[in-house]
Amino acid sequence: MDNPILVEVSRGRLVESRHRGSVAVVDAEGSTVLTLGDVERRVFPRSAVKALQALPLVENGIADKYGLTDEEIALACASHSGEPDHVRVAASMLAKAGQNESCLECGAHWPLGDAATRALAASGGQPTQLHNNCSGKHAGFICLACGLGDDPKGYVKSQHPVQQAVRHALEDLTGASHTEDVSGIDGCSIPTYAIPLPALAFGFAKFGSGVGISPGCKAASERIRTAVARHPFMVAGTGRFDTKLMDILGERAFVKTGAEGVYCAAFPELGYGIALKADDGAGRAAEAMMAALILRFLRLDDNERAMIDAMAQPILKNWNGIEVGRIRATQELMV
Amino acid sequence: MDNPILVEVSRGRLVESRHRGSVAVVDAEGSTVLTLGDVERRVFPRSAVKALQALPLVENGIADKYGLTDEEIALACASHSGEPDHVRVAASMLAKAGQNESCLECGAHWPLGDAATRALAASGGQPTQLHNNCSGKHAGFICLACGLGDDPKGYVKSQHPVQQAVRHALEDLTGASHTEDVSGIDGCSIPTYAIPLPALAFGFAKFGSGVGISPGCKAASERIRTAVARHPFMVAGTGRFDTKLMDILGERAFVKTGAEGVYCAAFPELGYGIALKADDGAGRAAEAMMAALILRFLRLDDNERAMIDAMAQPILKNWNGIEVGRIRATQELMV
């Protein structure tokens, strides 16, 4: 089955590029609200499930044990831009568990944020593991290991108690099996398990609504959603799509991007969970798709609608600031 | 018509992302060697035609008038990484025409090359128009304007003699109409005209073989191909795909990437021209497709084959250097 074209990129009067994709919107009872394209195919959720991966940290009382702040809990769900505040908060999480940057096993890379990279280079600095966009999630994993009394060493391995707890949380919420045959290694070295989009969307519907999950999981989900809504900068960074969307919508939409064109969301007021993927892995397509689904499902005032409409159909400008084209979600999504 | 999947990106045992595309391979007589997908649809060639856009500069004797070197002619065909040698050569071209950076109308941006950007930031510098990846092409346009006795001001506009000369060269070579209704504005502000892939491939077949074009155009084409083959660093930069391919193959393959997943090539020994586009605009897909077509059509020794095979199926590693997956051209291309 060929997935439909869900995003077009125009230049002048012509369509220059086309993105296909698939979408699942599911409610908290597990009923399908919308599917587009082949939603049976398993998809690696990558960083889009970081909030679900942070549930054991909060649900087991470890976040409270170490007195993690809302900023720190938000950073545990982040693919951050490596800006100074992200680095500071990741270091603070590690210090609370009596650890430091040397315990991280995510690897170092230059900040995702271009301005942050240039500022770091201008200061004569080099990136550390704290600059890795996943450092907050990994700092959370180390807090979890230490809080449970486990040696954090090797916490990225699938056999480690941390990854077992994370896997169980994901299996519980999505109902999808997390077995070796559907596993891969993520950019930050932890295992990632491919999940059909409806199961992923169902997991986010539960995460957003608290329906069908234990009181402990419900409380942990609320704590995480509140923390992220209060600090949307922490989950992404300056000018990033997740940050902008949650700056506008607050707790009304929890959204999280993942590599290779994955995007997940929860709309608590509707009890909906969303999971989508651009076939080709393009982030620009996944972003336009998510903005279009927000326009379609959420009740927005004129101001919110205008801001999110601009994110669903961003204008492309060249190096001289001249408008050259547009990215546009297609009618199939906008209806 | 749905274009075929020509590149797959795997993670673990699963395919994570898929790229569709179209391909035209045409010989110097205009006969079709291979087409895949919908090749009637017009495609903006973007930077993939920079070598053809440089023809008027050489053919009109302006390159000789100003004593442009092979490095400078190669840079006129470049989407360069903004490394110090690129910036130096662009400035030298302008100086030969009695001009300087302030005449450029391409806009400034931080270097395409990450290492070049960090080095510039570390030195406390800011990008100028010379760092724009198109600065060599624009310096060539300014040489052309000055050499023809025209005011270079406004040389990016479609009515300027420079863009008229460029448009005529492209129309001559490809046989495709270059009219307003199929035009767009490129990233560097010059007009770009959408062309069906077979016409684009035919243009490159003529450019590579000299068949069916005037003696002057043939000589200019040879001069450009030789200059690029001698200085493949100039057309792209450190670690870039074009540079690596031509470092391996020399004059046997002229290859040039363009934005939004376009790639063009000429194989002079076969008289073939190639034009391809990844539907979604992904450069990683266009690169794997081009490497696969080189493996398919060119006679290579074991060493060359091994190097280019690695470029057609690059291994993806994460931040810890662990292999996580692969980009692979599909059988449809490799056969």
Q: Which residues of A touch B259 (CB under 8 A)?
A: none
What distance in Å separates residue B43's CA from the closest CA in chain A? 7
A262-267/A272-278 β-pairing: antiparallel
Distances (CA, A) of A77 to A229, A235, A248, A255: 12, 6, 19, 11
pLDDT of residue A334: 83
Closest-CA residue of chain A to B117? A118
User: Looking at beta carbons, which residues of chain B come within 8 Å of A43?
Assistant: 16
Tell if the CB–CB gap between A117 and B122 is shorter than 8 Å.
Answer: no
Under an 8 A CB cutoff, do A318 and B121 touch?
no
Q: Report the C-alpha gap between A115 and A6 in whole angstroms.
A: 31
Identity of the residue in B13, B43, B321 whose CB atom sits nearest the CB atom of A181: B13
What whole-number distance in Å separates Cα of residue A21 and Cα of residue A114?
A: 28
Q: What secondary structure letter does DSSP report for B183?
A: E
Please give the average per-residue pLDDT across B251-278, as a whole number. 98
Asked if A185 lies within 8 A of B322 by C-beta distance, the reply is yes
Q: CA–CA distance from A316 to each of A138, A262, A310, A327, B107 (Å)?
A: 35, 22, 11, 7, 15
Instruction: Kindly report the number of other CB atoms within 10 A of residue B90's CB atom.
Output: 31
B93, two tokens? 């071209």
Q: Is A115 on the interface with B (CB under 8 A)?
A: no
Interface membership of B20 toward A (CB under 8 Å)? yes
pLDDT in tens, B284-318: 999 999 999 999 999 999 999 999 999 999 999 99
pLDDT score at B160: 98
Q: Do B319 and A42 touch (CB under 8 A)?
A: no
Nearest-Cα distance to chain A for B119, in Å, is: 7
B186 and A318 in contact (C-beta within 8 Å)?
Answer: yes
Count CB atoms within 10 A of the CB of residue B102.
9
Nearest to B260 among A16, A107, A108 (CB): A16
pLDDT tens profile B58-90? 999 999 999 999 999 999 999 999 999 999 999
Which residues of chain A are within 8 Å of residue B106 when distances are taken between CB atoms? 319-320
A335: pLDDT strictly greater than 90: no
CA distance B250 to chain A (A): 31
> pLDDT class for B213, splitting at 50, 70, 90?
very high
For A128, name the nearest residue in chain B, comparing CA atoms only: B319
Q: Which of B17, B107, B117 sits opposite A318 (nearest CB)?
A: B107
Which residues from B are below 8 Å from A260, CB to CB?
9, 16-17
Tokens 């050259």 sit at which residue? A324
pLDDT at residue A100, as a whole number: 98
Judge whether A81 is closer than 8 Å to chain B, CB to CB. no
Pairwise CA distance, residues A69 & A136, whole Å: 12
pLDDT tens-digit map of A20-58: 999 999 999 999 999 999 999 999 999 999 999 999 999
Chain A residues within 8 A of B285 when measuring between CB atoms: 280
- The stretch A190-204 carries a mean pLDDT of 98
Residue B34 neighbours by CB distance under 10 Å: 17
Taking an 8 Å cut-off on Cβ atoms, the answer to whether A184 and B324 are in contact is: yes
d(CA B226, CA B222): 6
| Count, residues in chain B | 335
DSSP string, A132-179: STTHHHHHHHHHHHHHTT---TTTTSTTSHHHHHHHHHHHHHH-----
Closest Cβ–Cβ partner in B108, B184, B324 for A185: B324
**pLDDT digits 0-9 by tens, A159-178:** 999 999 999 999 999 999 99
Is B324 in Cβ contact with A279 (below 8 Å)?
no
CA distance A28 to B277: 42
- Residues B89-133 have pLDDT tens digits of 999 999 999 999 999 999 999 999 999 999 999 999 999 999 999
B187–chain A Cβ distance below 8 A for any pair: yes
CA distance linking residue A286 with residue B150, whole number of Å: 47
Chain B contact present for A318, CB below 8 A: yes
Residue range A200-245, pLDDT digits in tens: 999 999 999 999 999 999 999 999 999 999 999 999 999 999 999 9
State whether residue A281 sits within 8 Å of chain B by CB. Answer: yes
> Do B12 and A285 count as a contact with CB atoms less than 8 A apart?
no
- Residue B267: pLDDT band (50, 70, 90) is very high
DSSP B77-143: T------HHHHHHHHHHHHHTT--GGG--S-----SSHHHHHHHHHTT----GGGSTTHHHHHHHHH
Whether chain B has a CB inside 8 Å of the CB on A194: the answer is yes
The answer to whether the pTM exceeds 0.80 is yes
Can you tell me the distance from the alpha carbon of A300 to that of B276, in angstroms, rounded to the nearest whole number?
42
Which two structure tokens, joined as six digits, stand for B316?
Answer: 């993806």
Q: For an interface test with A, which of B11, B47, B126, B322 has the most A Cβ atoms less than 10 Å from its Cβ? A: B11
Q: Residue A74: which of A281, A181, A306, A229 has the closest Cα?
A: A229
* Measured distance between the N- and C-terminal CA atoms of chain A, rounded to whole angstroms: 22
Give me chain A's average pLDDT, please. 97
Task: Find, among B185, B44, B161, B230, the residue nearest to A316 by Cα.
Answer: B185
Q: Where are the beta strands (DSSP E) in chain B?
A: 5-11, 14-26, 32-36, 42-43, 183-185, 191-193, 195-196, 254-258, 262-267, 272-278, 315-317, 323-329
* Residues shown for chain A: 335
| A261, closest residue in chain B (CA to CA) | B17
Task: Write out chain B residues lying below 8 Å of A328, CB-based.
Answer: none
**Cβ-defined contact of A17 to B261 (cutoff 8 Å):** yes
Q: Which residue has the tokens 């391919």?
A: B245
Query: What ipTM describes this predicted complex?
Result: 0.97
- The pLDDT value recorded for residue A272 is 98
Q: Are B275 and B204 in contact (CB under 8 A)?
A: yes
Cβ distance B44 to B184 under 8 Å? yes
Closest chain A residue to B281, measured at CA = A17
Output helix, strand, coil percentages for chain B, rounded to the nearest 5. Answer: 45, 20, 35
Summarize pLDDT for B167-204 with one digit per residue, the tens. Answer: 999 999 999 999 999 999 999 999 999 999 999 999 99
Contact status, residue B49 vs residue B264, Cβ threshold 8 Å: yes
Contact predicate B334/B308, CB 8 Å: no
Shortest CA gap A50–chain B (Å) = 18
Check pLDDT > 80 for residue B45.
yes
A76: which 2 tokens?
């545990």
Domain B5-334 has CATH 3.40.710: yes
According to DSSP, the β-strands at A323-329 and A5-11 are: antiparallel
Handedness of CA A156, A160, A165, A167 (dihedral sign): positive
A183 touches chain B (CB under 8 A): yes
Classify B238 as helix, strand or coil.
Answer: coil
pLDDT at B335: 76
Q: Which residues of A touch B178 (CB under 8 A)?
A: none
- A199-A200-A203-A207 Cα dihedral, nearest 10 degrees: -160
Over 90: is that where the pLDDT of A293 sits? yes
Contact residues, A window 243-262, toward B, CB-based 8 Å cutoff:
260-261
DSSP class per residue in A256-287? EEETTTEEEEEETTTTEEEEEEETT--HHHHH
Asked if the model's pLDDT at residue B1 lies above 80, the reply is: no
pLDDT above 90 covers a percentage of chain A that reads 99
Q: What is the structure's pLDDT at A229? A: 98
Specify which residues B23 forms β-bridges with.
Answer: B36, B276
Query: What value does the mean pLDDT take over residues A106-110?
Result: 97
Residue B181 in contact with partner chain A when CB distance is under 8 A: yes
